[in-house]
Structures are given as C-alpha cells and as structure tokens.
Amino acid sequence: MLHGLALPADRPQPWLVFLHGFSGDNREWQAVSEMLTAFPRLLLDLPGHGGSADLSVTSFDDMDALLRVTLTRYNIKKYWLVGYSLGGRVSMYHACQHPAGLCGVVVEGGHPGLPDESRRHERLGSDRQWAARFRQQPLEVVFDAWYRQPVFASLSEPQRAALVALRSRNNGATLATMLEATSLAQQPDLRSLLRTLSIPVHYLYGEYDSKFQMLATQVTGHCHAIPAAGHNAHRENPAAVADILARILRLEIKGTL
C-alpha cells in the first residue's frame, strides 16, 4: 500500500487522488489541493519516494496493482486521478485498464508513450544512464544536470537551484529503481486507447512548455494552458491550476461538457 495523506471533505463527492512526478512526494500537490476543499483528497507517495521509499515495483502493471490496493484500503470507490509527469503517465495507464470507479483523469505534462521501437530503445538507454548516476553520484550533481534538460528550459537559475536542493533530499537508489521500472521505454503508446475511453480526459500544460502543448492535443480534445508556467505548472502557478481543476470538476460532475 502506498503512503498517502488523506483529506476528507464534508460533502459526498468523488475523491481527487493526486500523483506527483519523478523525485517528488505528496507535498508536491499540497498547494493545489488546499484550494479544492470541497472534495475529499488523497495525496500519494509513489514507490521509491517519500513515505513509500521502501516500496518498489518492476513494471507499470505492478504500479497499477499497487495503486488499486491503495484505493481499496482507503475505501475509495469513486475518484478522479490528477497526475503530473510520471504521475500523469501512471494515471493514463491506469485509466486505460478501465478500472471501476474512475470518473476521469487530469494529466499535467505526462507523456502518452513513444510510438516506435527505435525511440523506446533510445529512451531505455538514456534512462539506464540516469539510473546509474542516481545510484553512484551525489544527488546535488545529478539533479543539477537533470534540471538542465530541454524540458526544464523555462526555469530561472533560482528556480533550478530551489528544485535541486529540494529533490536532493531523496534516496538515489530507490529513485533509480523507480525510474527503470516506469521508464517511458517500458510504457505502451496510450494515444489510441485514451481516445476511446468513456470517461473524460483533460490535459494541463504550462504555456512555456511547447513540447507538451503539442503532446496534449494527441491525448485529448480537452487541453488547458496554464499561464506563466513551464513544465512544472502546478508548482509555478498553483492558483491557476486549482482554478482550472475546479472548473473541470464542476462542469464534468454536472455533465455539461
């Protein structure tokens, strides 16, 4: 069972289950969740992270099974998944298994999957190199390089330094295990399956995140730009993300979209 922070609400509503990105923990979504108090919320730590650091998985199937066990233990029967980056990929995979009780998915900056074997092979090699670095090098060094990847180009130097300091509190070995198990190379291309789901799928992306703006349109017709934000939009503009989430939930629950 995944470690989590459960925040019940007074009124009967579907749960909002938040999944963080690689090297984060349940606090990553805290600012956004505090603005959505009309809903019961569960903020989870993924395997190898935070309070779930002693847990590990070997595949997306393993990850999905662990998520299902966790939802059952919390007695969550109706829920939305809200996932960022790695958490978004886990959310999309889970949705494509057609679980009972899932009302909808909101993905922020999550990749739907690589379309061909050559790109998956290339990604696997890259992720294995990163995993080796996480196991062998000081985390301050690894995360400084990590946050200089093109997807994080919109970060200022102070923003980058703050993320490096925050993420360096992790355990490099457990991060490496999770990175290998849930590498984009190990994930199927979910585009076609996502388009056939009977539940709503919404996609959030930072206005400066051109790569994931393009990917968003391949996932769903419900795409939402977050102003003044890059790849990590909920951290850079939590109020805007919370506002869009509230609007999505209000409209979807009323059945007007």
229-244 residue pLDDT tens? 999 999 999 999 999 9
Contact 50, 116 (CB under 8 A): no
Report which DSSP code applies to 46. P
- At residue 42, φ and ψ (nearest 5 deg) are -130, 120
3-state DSSP percent of the chain in helix, strand and coil, to 5 = 50, 15, 35
Both tokens of 140, joined, read 């301050």
**pLDDT band per the 50, 70, 90 thresholds, residue 218:** very high
pLDDT exceeds 50 at position 158: yes
pLDDT exceeds 70 at position 257: no
51-60 residue pLDDT tens? 999 999 999 9
| Residue count (the chain) | 257
Residue with tokens 């925050």: 166
pLDDT exceeds 50 at position 256: no
Whole-number mean pLDDT of the chain? Answer: 96
Residue-range domains of the chain with CATH: 4-115+187-254 (3.40.50.1820)
**pLDDT band per the 50, 70, 90 thresholds, residue 255:** low
Answer whether 0.85 is exceeded by the pTM.
yes
Q: What pLDDT, on a 0 to 100 scale, did the predictor assign at position 11?
A: 78
